[in-house]
Amino acid sequence: MNLPDWLRSVHHDGSERYVSKLHPRLGETVRLRLRVAQAAPVRRVLLRTFPDGEQALITMQPGPTEPPAQWWEADLLIDAPLTHYRFIIEAADGLWHYGAGGPSAHVPLDYTDFRILADYDPPGWPAESVFYQIFPDRFANGDPATDPRPEEYEYRSHRPTTYPWGAPPPADQLFPLVFYGGDLPGIESRLDYLTGLGVNALYLNPVFTALSNHKYDVADYDHVDPHFGGDAALVSLRRALDARGMRYILDIVPNHCGYWHPWFQTARADSAAPEAEFFTFRRHPDDYATWLGVWTLPKLNYRSAELRRRVYDDADAVFRRWLRPPFSADGWRVDVANMLGRQGPTQLGREISAGIRRAVRQARPDAYLIGENFFDATDQLQGDQWDGVMNYGGFTQPLWYWLRGYDLGAHGFADKLTGPHWPTEAMATSWQGRLATIPWAVALQQYNILDSHDTPRIRSTVGENDALHRLAVALLLTFPGVPGLYYGDEIGLTDVPRLGARGCMVWDEARWNRPLHTFHRDLIHLRRRSSALQRGGFQLLLVEDDTIAYQRDSLDERILVFAHRGAMPRPAGRVPIDHAGVADGARFVDVLGGAEFVVAGGALPLPELPQGALVLQQIAA
């Protein structure tokens, strides 16, 4: 159905311009505001809520008129842990519903209502952070004396070898045993580089003792791998981060452990041992449940109360002890969080993740807890489990598809489903749809990325197209949520043979893409000082064949973002902007180029837009 054009001007989200308090307490009253075009044929606006399972309607009152916008307001008592609501607009041309999924003529389902959480206390610092993900073995070698050596151990009939930094490994070396000597002292030695870039938080891939380079086959949750410098190196890194006002989160694998973990070895040796219930043996000792059939990664069975105690319940459980001094990690990234506690008839995921959340909050109330999830994480993002997830489904994948074409694969499926062209409307709908199903307070905690150790690098994804790479970076640093960069992307690293996205960081500055580094630095600094980008609202403004635009606005700042993927420039012209509530005479500046633009006649005069992104900041009157 084609909706009236004036409905494009209707806007509300959970940000400070529209909701008077982001984190209300139970029993508090918040003021809700709805923005509509001043010229819209609106007769009345009703706020529809659902207290204790019964529909309730509240008549909203006209608020201030701020041309070209008219505001409508109502007070809402927050008397339940989760309050959801939408708006019903009575207009001269019909009755319209408006929820987080947008306007509609039909009655929407409650799951797309706006949502407010009571007594929700997420950490405040992630909103002010720009993260930098580091795969420790490949970032910097600070202490060659701890490099893995062949005589130290055997793994699947192979032995570990440390190769010269950046040298390609031989074809016959087992991939998990290819080492380059990166370690925690190496990271500490490069912190000044990171602060110069502007990042102020680190996400470290696993550092606990394990036989592989990636450490997802953990053999000891209680100690940092000696090849990374051991426990003392993490304590030293913590102190160095403190000196620079930086944070860090650790990566943990509670879904499975490594074959050589003492728990599993004890369970294999004795079926009556307490640890035997930590795993699922179909036939003891060699037939057991694993992560996706990988025999070196036996899956943990959370039906065991003792396992829960060791992982998160006890006072000195793994999830708790690393958050306390002297390590004082600022949070956790939980590996394969979508699979945790799930095993056929045993479906304990919600119970286990909620238990982990309680434990983490008790150990450190301001800890940031995120999960890995490539898929629809809506059920895990309602305020009682993760603070956020690695936002593949809600940001990253739609952007990949828009830039390179659609593709879909699955574990164990040899083929791929592909499509050469993904409509801008599909990306916009994907973004908006995922935002519509979670509370706004949670949306601001989502961990947004362009790539990771598990995916191709963004520069490879866009075929080393510099303009598209910059476009992606601009969207990452202006989208709602917490931005995370992957090491080396800022200097133009691409995937390398055999190592993929896990190549060695390049420290020879002559090999850097300097303009790309500067582009990252400038936008990171914008993000770090911008209230609109840290906590502002989100409104899609323009969706064309090759162009998308959106607004981020806080009480004191407004930023407009235009992204154009087409090889041919978008022609210069006037872009309607009055549906964003922007008044004539408003002035904007290109934050990177310096050009200024003035709104007139409800439109913004834009120049020709080449492939790439344009970020405009409103100039205070």
Neighbours of 381 (CB within 10 A): 25
- Compute the radius of gyration of the chain from its Cα atoms: 25
Reported in sequence order, the residue ranges of 67-152 that DSSP labels E, i.e. its strands, are: 69-77, 82-91, 94-99, 102-104, 114-117, 131-134
pLDDT in tens, 96-111: 999 999 999 999 999 9
Continuous segment of H or E residues that includes residue 247: strand 247-252
Of 183, 217, 372, 489, the active-site residue reads 372
Both 44 and 98 in one domain: the answer is: yes
Q: If you average pLDDT over residues 490-499, what whole number do you get?
A: 97
Asked, for residue 340, whether it belongs to a domain, the answer is no
Mind listing the pLDDT tens digit for each residue in 151-182?
A: 999 988 899 999 999 999 999 999 999 999 99
Tokens of 363: 């150990």
Does the structure show a pLDDT above 80 at 621? Answer: no
Q: Which residue has the tokens 């949750």?
A: 221
**Same domain? 480 vs 550:** no
Beta-bridge partner residues of 34: 72
* pLDDT score, position 608: 96
β-pair partners for 77? 29
Q: What single-letter amino acid sits at 451?
A: D
Residue 374 inside a domain? The answer is no
Measured between alpha carbons, how far apart are the two ends of the chain, in Å?
40
- Decide if 551 is inside a domain: yes
**Cβ contacts of 538 within 8 Å, gap of 6 or more:** 13, 15, 435, 479, 480, 550, 551, 552
Query: Is residue 133 domain-resident?
Result: no
pLDDT value at 434 more than 70: yes
Domain boundary (101, 117, 133) is at 117
Peptide bond into 483 cis (omega under 30): no
Distance CA 135, CA 221 (A): 18
Residue 232 falls within a domain, yes or no?
no
- Distance between CA atoms of residues 395 and 448, nearest Å: 7
Token pair listed for 431: 């973004």
Q: Read off the DSSP letter of residue 390.
A: B
Domain hosting residue 61, numbered range: 5-117
| CATH code of residue 577 | 2.60.40.1180
What whole-number distance in Å separates Cα of residue 543 and Cα of residue 548?
5
CA distances from 384 to 319, 353, 358, 381, 442 (A): 17, 8, 9, 7, 10
Query: How many Cβ atoms from other residues are within 10 Å of residue 30's Cβ?
Result: 17
Helix/strand/coil for 415: strand
Q: Is-catalytic flag, 490?
A: no
- Is the pLDDT at 503 greater than 70, yes or no? yes
One domain, residues 417 and 524: yes
Let me know whether 433 and 524 are in one domain: yes
pLDDT tens, position by position, 223-232: 999 999 999 9
| Closest to 470 in 3D by CA, of 614, 268, 312 | 614
Helices (H), 416-501: 424-436, 440-443, 458-461, 466-478
Same structural domain for residues 525 and 595?
no
Residue 86's closest CA among 459, 600, 96? Answer: 96
- Residue 430 φ/ψ, nearest 5 degrees: -65, -50
- Please tell me the predicted confidence (pLDDT) of residue 89: 98
Whether residues 444 and 397 share a domain: the answer is: yes
Is residue 55 included in any domain, yes or no?
yes
| 504 pLDDT tier (thresholds 50, 70, 90) | very high
Place of tokens 């574990």: 411
584 shares its domain with 465:
no
Give the residue carrying structure tokens 């064949």: 545
Position 443, amino acid: A
525 plus 566 within the same structural domain? no
What are the C-alpha distances in Å from 391 to residues 56, 57, 130, 283? 34, 34, 15, 38
Residues paired with 11 in a beta bridge? 35
Residue at token pair 């973002």: 561
Q: Are 180 and 227 in contact (CB under 8 A)?
A: no
Residue 214 to residue 160: CA distance in whole angstroms: 13
Cβ atoms < 10 Å from Cβ of 595: 11
Q: Does 41 sit behind a cis peptide bond, omega within 30 degrees of 0 on the bond before it?
A: no
- CA torsion, ordered 218, 222, 228, 231, to nearest 10 deg: 180
Nearest to 325 by CA among 231, 218, 461, 402: 231
Structural domains in the chain (count): 4
Rounded Cα gap, residues 300 and 303, in angstroms: 9
Residues of the chain with pLDDT > 70, as a percent, come to 100
Q: What is the mean pLDDT of the chain?
A: 97
Q: Tell me, yes or no, whether 422 and 546 share the same domain.
A: no
Distance set, CA 470 to CA 98, 543, 565, 566 (Å): 34, 19, 11, 14
| Dihedral angle, C-alpha 84, 89, 90, 96, nearest 10 ° | -100
Average pLDDT over residues 387-395: 98
Q: What are the distances in angstroms from CA 63 to CA 35, 49, 74, 523, 533? A: 9, 20, 9, 36, 26
Residues 95, 17 share a domain: yes
Averaged over 265-269, what is the pLDDT? 98
* Per-residue pLDDT band at 2 (split at 50, 70, 90): confident
Q: Domain end: 529, 553, 584, which one?
A: 529
For helices 424-436 and 397-404, angle between their N-to-C axes, nearest 10 degrees: 180
Kindly state the percentage of the chain with pLDDT values over 90. 96
SS3 content of the chain, % helix, strand, coil (to 5): 30, 30, 40
> Which DSSP helix (H) or strand (E) runs through 187?
helix 184-189
As a whole number of angstroms, the distance between CA 414 and CA 427 comes to 26
d(CA 613, CA 520): 13
482 and 544 both lie in a single domain:
no
- Region label for 388, one of left (φ > 0), alpha (ψ between -120 and 50) or beta (otherwise): beta
**Distance between CA atoms of 215 and 510, rounded to whole angstroms?**
32
pLDDT given for residue 1 in this prediction: 63
Q: Is residue 408 scored above 90 in pLDDT?
A: no
In tens, the pLDDT along 183-211 reads 999 999 999 999 999 999 999 999 999 99
> 217, 335, 387, 490: which is the annotated catalytic residue?
335
For residue 322, being part of any structural domain is answered with no
Q: How far apart are CA 173 and CA 499, in angstroms?
A: 12
Query: Does residue 460 carry a pLDDT above 80?
Result: yes
Q: Read out DSSP for 566-602?
A: -SSPBPPEEEE-GGGTPPTT-EEEETTT--EEE-BTT
Region 344-373: what's the mean pLDDT?
97
Distance CA 85, CA 13 (A): 11
**Cα distance between residue 330 and residue 336, in whole Å:** 20
What is the C-alpha separation between 597 and 607, in angstroms, rounded?
9
d(CA 7, CA 117): 27
Using the 3D structure, point to which of 86, 117, 148 is the last residue of a domain.
117
- Stated length of the chain: 621
335 is catalytic: yes
Do 556 and 524 lie in a common domain?
Answer: no
> What single letter denotes the amino acid at residue 343?
Q
Average pLDDT over residues 565-588: 97
| pLDDT-based confidence at residue 240 (cuts at 50, 70, 90) | very high
49-58, 373-382, 417-426: which range is least confident on average?
Answer: 417-426
CA atoms lying within 13 Å on the CB side of residue 280: 17
Residue 270, domain CATH = 3.90.400
Give the DSSP H/E element, type plus range, for residue 264. helix 262-269
Is 44 contained in some domain? yes
The residue assigned the tokens 């409509």 is: 423
